Structure 1
């Protein structure tokens, strides 16, 4: 069976409220039927026994002791019965109110209730069986009415045996049950109005949030949403405002990135096309070989930028889905990379101080991250690059220093962003790629200005 689904918040709240009320009504009804009635019946039986004992102790059945004026005993009756030689028992009303007539031998007065009829009393007498009884308590049903009655043998002034019978018809008062049901129905009706008010109160800010979300989806970065609530909805609004701010910042950076990368990609294309046209038209400034060399260099620069862009774009997926991890000897890896970079610029002095430390990770990705940092240092270094590798607090700490110019203080924390351009206006992605790889393996990277030059410090957890 499918669950009930309501699109209206009012109906959901009201249905929940109604279900709670119905559960309470059913619980109270069952409690009343199975607990309260048992307690009430036990209390009535105890009170009837007390009234019966008083009559036995006083041994005066004509005096009214007003016991039937108590709440539990209003319907109680007391009578004596003599079982003589005749087939018909002789009943006598006892504990009579003043002025109440005695019971004639032929039966009770006509105005008495059915519960007080001769037939009912004869039925109770059938439980005696001519034996001697001492406050024997019975509970039985007669003519669809349940009775509690107590029978005791008493001295007889005539022939035959006499007994005192005190009885009480158990009339179930369903007033409490009906009251509970009526109150429940009233609360259900009130609950609908309450649910409507509560739903309107809740849905108003939610409706504003819905409109606000649609604005964000359409990149409408206007004023943030203002709702003066300090509850869960207020906190949700604050979170969405922060999300809007972050998305706005990301959107602006993306636009700047597209503008910058398009410029960086168009420039080498324009150079290549102009020199190619010069060869075709025969108006090149230098030799054909020199012009072709320029075209090749620009093409290589363009290819490198495109590869970096594609690499960065797919890096998250590759890191997440390629879980291949091996033991990497950082010392051997660094020596391999440095030997390749030394031939790029033979004028640079390399100062190496490295311990043998192993980490876990993907060899290709770790190599790319370190190569990008060394390539950046080689680009800006004047005369020296120093590489230090040490173990510290369970981390491999790699310090790559170059004696080039310092980075401006306001930019030093932005150089690892995807959209950062250096002071030359070039748009590089190498540092962003390195940071993403190092972060993935639980490490961190930062740039620190020295008195002369810059250090890039990489920390990677040791296996």
Structure 2
């Protein structure tokens, strides 16, 4: 597998090599177009000054040699060639002393020889540094009635030793620092990615407690923070899933065991009729409880889907609330509970079937947790673009510490357990309200009752 670290390192080295190649090319182009001609002119000028000095000052043979040696010590390599082709050298020796044909015209035609112009087989400016006789400039001069050719070139070993060493060291240092820096940067970038990869493997094995300690202030740091949030959310979802399965199993098991137990008792031939009727009634109640639980689970599953198909239409919200009240009138009379309502005629657009579940759950809860002789108040009004629906009862109330978990699935207080609730009703209510982009708020005190306030935004709400 090609790791990101390896790819980054290879890419860095490749870019560095391309940069060196481009830099070398640009330097050679500059040398060929600018530096080369200037160097040739400078060397020809030096050669001509030497020749002028030699011709104007009558040197003896010994003095002439000392003078040429002195010039060579200033950083030049010099070759003297006479008409016979004999050569005499001053300064550092040449690696190649072959006399080029083009240089002959210095002696035969009194011309000027520029060796750099004749380098055709060298790559770019490499020829400038070759220590060969043909890499010189040559000028003619006359001494003691004889024609000579003075061929000269700068001694790169002397002239360039210090500066070239510094430059080469500088370039090498830059290269090494760049490579080491890139490798370090690659490790810094890939280390958190490796940690994230390892954390992902642990999450795939349902281990949501893997420590991921990446503290950075860049995009990788943001990714790490998002990953930690995702890990926390997955852990909570996993706990909720396990709790959901446990609660569903318990809520299904309890009525099923009751049904099975009483069904076994009904098999007895000596069972009195009164007991038989009582057991049959219990089985019927438990079956209805199972049916209600199944129906609510199916509705909750449907609401959990990301794109629940809302069946929005215009309907009279006040009439819907009145219909729910009529449906439970018998229970209100049976529990001796007084119900009053103040419902402003309102034409609302929403999912009537879902909202019917909301009113049904809130009203049955108000009846279930009320007390004999208690009361329930239902109000419907419009404030600006919002529809406000209120259910207020004088029941047992809800403890303050229980309010944050009130809308959690299967959450039931002690009073709710005694009333055989499923713990899903208020969770369904909240999700339906949120589907309508609304909010639900609860005010409650122990012993005084509870008030549920629903706010449903509807800019097109109409008073009828």
Q: Given the two structures, how large is their TM-score scaled by the length of structure 1?
A: 0.66
Which residue matches 1:310?
A: 298
Which residue matches 1:374?
A: 363
Verify the 8 A CA contact 2:12 2:182 in the aligned structure 1.
no
Displacement of 1:312: 2.0
Verify the 8 A CA contact 2:266 2:276 in the aligned structure 1.
no
Tell me: CA distance 1:311–1:210, structure 2 relative to 1, closer, same or farther (3 Å). Answer: closer
1:230 aligns with 2:242: no
236-245 or 434-443, which moves further after superposition?
Answer: 236-245
Pairwise mapping of residues 172-183 of structure 1 onto structure 2 (< 5 A)? none
Tell me: CA distance 1:203–1:311, structure 2 relative to 1, closer, same or farther (3 Å). Answer: closer
What SS is found at the alignment partner of 2:340? strand
Which residue matches 2:121?
A: 144
1:105 aligns with 2:87: no
1:22 aligns with 2:14: yes
Which residue matches 2:456?
A: 460
Which residue matches 2:440?
A: 445
Displacement of 1:137: 9.7
Higher helix share: 2
Partners of 1:263 and 1:228 in 2: CA distance? 44
Residue from 23, 31, 37 that aligns with 1:40: 31
Count of paired positions: 410
1:320 aligns with 2:302: no
Which residue matches 1:78?
A: none
Pairwise mapping of residues 281-292 of structure 1 onto structure 2 (< 5 A)? 281-285=270-274
Displacement of 1:309: 2.4
Tell me: CA distance 1:326–1:152, structure 2 relative to 1, closer, same or farther (3 Å). Answer: farther
114-123 or 423-432, which moves further after superposition?
Answer: 114-123
Displacement of 1:406: 0.9
Unaligned runs of 5+ in 2: 55-66, 129-134, 144-148, 157-163, 460-464
Displacement of 1:109: 1.9
Displacement of 1:188: 7.9
Which residue matches 1:434?
A: 429
Partners of 2:87 and 2:136 in 1: CA distance? 23
Tell me: CA distance 1:211–1:410, structure 2 relative to 1, closer, same or farther (3 Å). Answer: same
Unaligned runs of 5+ in 1: 76-95, 158-162
Verify the 8 A CA contact 1:18 1:191 in the aligned structure 2.
no
Residue from 260, 264, 267 that aligns with 1:277: 267
1:388 aligns with 2:379: yes
Displacement of 1:123: 7.6
Tell me: CA distance 1:226–1:291, structure 2 relative to 1, closer, same or farther (3 Å). Answer: closer
Tell me: CA distance 1:151–1:267, structure 2 relative to 1, closer, same or farther (3 Å). Answer: closer
Displacement of 1:404: 1.4
Which residue matches 1:90?
A: none
What SS is found at the alignment partner of 1:322? coil
Verify the 8 A CA contact 1:420 1:427 in the aligned structure 2.
no
Tell me: CA distance 1:153–1:124, structure 2 relative to 1, closer, same or farther (3 Å). Answer: closer
Q: Given the two structures, how large is their TM-score scaled by the length of structure 2?
A: 0.65
Partners of 2:168 and 2:14 in 1: CA distance? 13
Verify the 8 A CA contact 2:5 2:187 in the aligned structure 1.
no
Tell me: CA distance 1:271–1:320, structure 2 relative to 1, closer, same or farther (3 Å). Answer: farther
Displacement of 1:339: 3.6
Tell me: CA distance 1:453–1:202, structure 2 relative to 1, closer, same or farther (3 Å). Answer: closer
Displacement of 1:153: 12
Tell me: CA distance 1:54–1:195, structure 2 relative to 1, closer, same or farther (3 Å). Answer: closer
What SS is found at the alignment partner of 2:52? coil
207-216 or 20-29, which moves further after superposition?
Answer: 207-216
Residue from 363, 366, 371 that aligns with 2:352: 363
Partners of 1:183 and 1:459 in 2: CA distance? 68
Displacement of 1:140: 4.2
1:354 aligns with 2:344: yes
What SS is found at the alignment partner of 2:85? coil
Instruction: For residues 226-269 of structure 1, give each alpha carbon's deviation from its aligned partner in whole angstroms, at most 9, with x where no partner exists.
Output: 56653559758855773575256425633651354135433652
1:335 aligns with 2:322: yes
Instruction: For residues 313-346 of structure 1, give each alpha carbon's deviation from its aligned partner in whole angstroms, at most 9, with x where no partner exists.
Output: 33323x6242544345533433343343335424
What SS is found at the alignment partner of 1:413? helix
Tell me: CA distance 1:300–1:213, structure 2 relative to 1, closer, same or farther (3 Å). Answer: closer
